[in-house]
Structure 1
Amino acid sequence: MKIVTLGGCGAMGRATSRELAGNDDVELTIADADIDTAERLATDLPGTVETVQVDVTDHDHLVDVLTDSDVVANALPYAFNIDVMEACLEAEAHYLDLGGLYHKTQEQLELDDAFDDAELTAVLGIGASPGLTNVATAMGASRLDRVDAIHIRTGAKGGGDGFAYSAKTILDELTMNPVVFEDGEFKELDPLSGRETYTMPDPVGEVEGFHSIHSELATMPYTFDGVDTVDFRVAFSPDLVNICDVLIGLNLTSEEEIEFKDTTFTPREFLDWHLDQQPKPGAVEEWKSFRVDVTGEKDGEDTHYQYSVVVESRLDGWGLKATAVWTGVPMGIAAELVGRGEALETGAKPPEQALDPKQFIEELRQRDIVIDEKRVA
């Protein structure tokens, strides 16, 4: 099968490219604006890996690049998701991405009929969270007769200084109003609200998390009939949260236009540009973790399943932080499954609808990403 990793030499995409390059059944092409970095990565991967320079803002050019591919794994910033999906429809290719941060995911779901009519599958958000969290939740739901509540928590240890992934995405997560589903209704909360201390599996341990805008909330309340509560909390490093608190306090995340030396821009536009110019953190020791609690009823009794995972950096050979591994590898696995025709449905679907959770969890285990299941009650 022919698979294109779009943004395939970026911070997250290179893990997807590495996963796919190890599969003898895959003809891999890394498509990226940075062709020099793409070519360097290609020479470091097993097998024959093609590269192509791409401008995703040029629709016709993007379609030309994607034509003749079977699957497109999109590791670009979520702002480009719709553009790439539309190009995939024209190129007649399956599609996957790393999430749309709730609001973009809602827009992407509107392309469900178009992908279904084309007999194509688009998996929306198949990284770590969203992605692994959705699959774990689907596994828990399959154990129950009725799902009442879903609680998702993430945390990390190590990882070095600065932003763990796209600074723009992290700032969005910290400044946009988070959404939760409580008592059968969607509620919009204040940024950084709902602070809670919780314990993740070793060696991550105790962390402080808070509500954050996330794609799981855009789909899970609809996927699992009758669910009453769905919420998500993320725990970034205290240093990173402090940095963002200062940026917010200085109004540098404002979207209001200002004029400076005959130029008009917003503080947030400047901040996004400036942070994008900073050196990216190298591969350092890091542990990423999530915990998903799924509660409901089984055979008339209250039942609670808990799913957790810890993923460590892969420095030897891969040279990748845990953030890249647990985000990029799942998309590579899903791309292989979709390319083999093993998606559960066509259309634009979240992972909990598009993928068989038992199969996917086994595929992860074979890559040393182990989702632990525990029946709590």
Structure 2
Amino acid sequence: MTARKGRRAAAEQGGGAAPRRVVFIGAAGEMCRVAIERFAKADGDGELVLTDIRPEILEPLAKRLPAGRATIRRLDLFDQKDLRAAIDGAALVVLGAGPYIRTSSPVIEACLEAKVPYLDFDDDVESTEHALSLHEKAKAAGIPIYVGCGASPGMSNVLVADAAAELDTVENIEVGWLVGDERPDVGRAVLHHLMHISAGPCLTWENGGPATHESYVETGIVQMGGIGEVLLYETAHPEPVTLPRRYPEAKRIRCIGGLAPAPFNGIARGLGLAVHEGKLTADEAVDFILDILKNRYFTNAKALRYALGGMLGQVRRKESGAGTLVEFLLKSAVRRTYRWEGGLLARVTGTRNGMPAVAVRRTPISGPETYAVRSMGALTGTACAAFMVLAIDENGTRAGAFAPEDWADPKAFYNALERVGTPRSEIVEAVL
């Protein structure tokens, strides 16, 4: 375990203020580990308190950080007494433990009581709505609650704000995300989220007002940067819930997303429907996915049937070809994976100078050789680190509950991405 003993002792002997503390909850998660390492590149001072219910996993991470920067602590975030002791006096608390529909409420409540700033990369609609409903409480406590500060939501919202600024009026907003082949390194919280968004109600914005669709039914085709044309599915994500607060005049706002290669979408849809209809539990579906990611296919025959049914449904609806499915099954059988491809896109339509206009912002490249867009974990963690830089720069000047488009200026955010190590060439490209 490492600690900033020398710097802390010097501050105490000199009578100076204690070092600024940033507390990470769920620090052992893949996305949070990336956020910690990349935030440390930009922020050269202050103590990084790494907490997790499995603190032993954090030792390698602490050793990679600059000497004396990190302290490791075991924390069960549902233990309110221990949680308060961990966050009291923090300059910022970052929640990286999901699923957020379970974890965000107790941590936000503790931050309100302790009057310390809070930031997360929540991608669940229900917990996002709850966090934003605490705006007045956060103002009274004098602290900011920054929600959805990851890739999607997060960077995607900033791309929307950047694109919309080119237009005089905003009519339609489409946010797109694509996640590539990440076998076998996928966490349970990510898969629980996937089961949550691949079936069931999808809160969206249509005809100038809120509407409810079915997740993973409607589709859209977009041109992803460096990849080309991909088919994505409408998903239950926070962007269509938060963006109407800034663009109430928009007729349509939706989030479409998907997985690559395409048959993964069929697996997600088949299992998600089974969970939504009570034919499988979410844990059964997640356990099955974790098994097939490790090339163990026959651990749950019932789940396998729903997964195959989902992929065949894709072929019947012409969302993917039979050849693509056969190739995927053959490659999976011999434990071959695909090159990772993914990224983000925001497409805004409206008018400019009285004429119809379109503005697009997207990540320009992706792949294992890139810094930030080599995996969704890398993109989410890097974006979170940039949001953290902006939050620290705010230095207590903002109070309330905020989605990214409420507070993160696009140019400042892109600069923050560079500060955490992202090459400018990977950050954003404009398509006019």
The answer to whether residue 40 in structure 2 is matched with residue 21 in structure 1 is yes
In structure 2, what residue type is equivalent to 1:349? F
Paired residue for 2:313? none
Shift of residue 169 of structure 1? 0.5
Mapped to 2, the partners of 1:6 and 1:62 lie a distance apart of: 9
Shift of residue 372 of structure 1? 1.2
In structure 1, what residue type is equivalent to 2:95? N
Mapped to 2, the partners of 1:278 and 1:58 lie a distance apart of: 34
Shift of residue 279 of structure 1? 8.0
Structure 1 residue corresponding to 2:140, chosen from 117, 123, 126: 117
Mapped to 2, the partners of 1:163 and 1:33 lie a distance apart of: 19
In structure 1, what residue type is equivalent to 2:218? G
| Partner SS, residue 189 of structure 1 | strand
Distance 1:247 1:298, change over 3 A: closer
Contact 2:195-2:272 within 8 A present in 1 as well: no
Shift of residue 199 of structure 1? 2.5
The answer to whether residue 405 in structure 2 is matched with residue 339 in structure 1 is no
Shift of residue 147 of structure 1? 1.7
Greater strand percent: which structure?
A: 1
Paired residue for 1:370? 427
Mapped to 1, the partners of 2:32 and 2:398 lie a distance apart of: 25
Q: Alpha-carbon deviations, 1:224-248, whole Å to 9, x = none?
A: 2312210111021323223234434
Structure 2 residue corresponding to 1:174, chosen from 157, 181, 198: 198
Shift of residue 276 of structure 1? 7.2
In structure 1, what residue type is equivalent to 2:282? R
Shift of residue 201 of structure 1? 1.5
In structure 2, what residue type is equivalent to 1:114? K
| Partner SS, residue 198 of structure 2 | helix
Shift of residue 97 of structure 1? 0.9
Shift of residue 76 of structure 1? 1.1
Paired residue for 2:314? none
Distance 1:211 1:253, change over 3 A: same
Any gaps of 5 or more consecutive residues in structure 1? Answer: 257-265
Contact 1:125-1:131 within 8 A present in 2 as well: yes
Larger-gyration structure (1/2): 2
Distance 1:214 1:186, change over 3 A: same
Mapped to 1, the partners of 2:114 and 2:348 lie a distance apart of: 39
Contact 2:364-2:429 within 8 A present in 1 as well: no
Identical counterparts, % of pairs: 21
Greater helix percent: which structure?
A: 2
Structure 1 residue corresponding to 2:111, chosen from 84, 88, 111: 88
Mapped to 2, the partners of 1:71 and 1:277 lie a distance apart of: 37
The answer to whether residue 343 in structure 2 is matched with residue 289 in structure 1 is yes
Paired residue for 1:302? 356
RMSD: 2.9
| Partner SS, residue 382 of structure 2 | helix
Shift of residue 102 of structure 1? 1.5
Mapped to 1, the partners of 2:368 and 2:107 lie a distance apart of: 29
In structure 2, what residue type is equivalent to 1:58? D
Contact 2:194-2:268 within 8 A present in 1 as well: no
The answer to whether residue 402 in structure 2 is matched with residue 349 in structure 1 is yes
In structure 1, what residue type is equivalent to 2:264? L
| Partner SS, residue 178 of structure 1 | strand
Mapped to 1, the partners of 2:255 and 2:351 lie a distance apart of: 21
Structure-2-length-normalised TM-score = 0.76
Paired residue for 1:262? none
Distance 1:159 1:268, change over 3 A: closer
Q: Alpha-carbon deviations, 1:49-104, whole Å to 9, x = none?
A: 11111001111211111112110111111121111111111222111111242122
Any gaps of 5 or more consecutive residues in structure 2? Answer: 1-19, 296-336
| Partner SS, residue 82 of structure 1 | helix
Paired residue for 1:260? none
Paired residue for 2:74? 53
Shift of residue 314 of structure 1? 6.1
Q: What is the total number of aligned residue pairs between the two structures?
A: 362
Paired residue for 2:149? 126
Mapped to 2, the partners of 1:160 and 1:268 lie a distance apart of: 20
Structure-1-length-normalised TM-score = 0.86
Paired residue for 1:267? 281
Contact 2:92-2:117 within 8 A present in 1 as well: yes
Paired residue for 1:32? 52
In structure 1, what residue type is equivalent to 2:412? Q
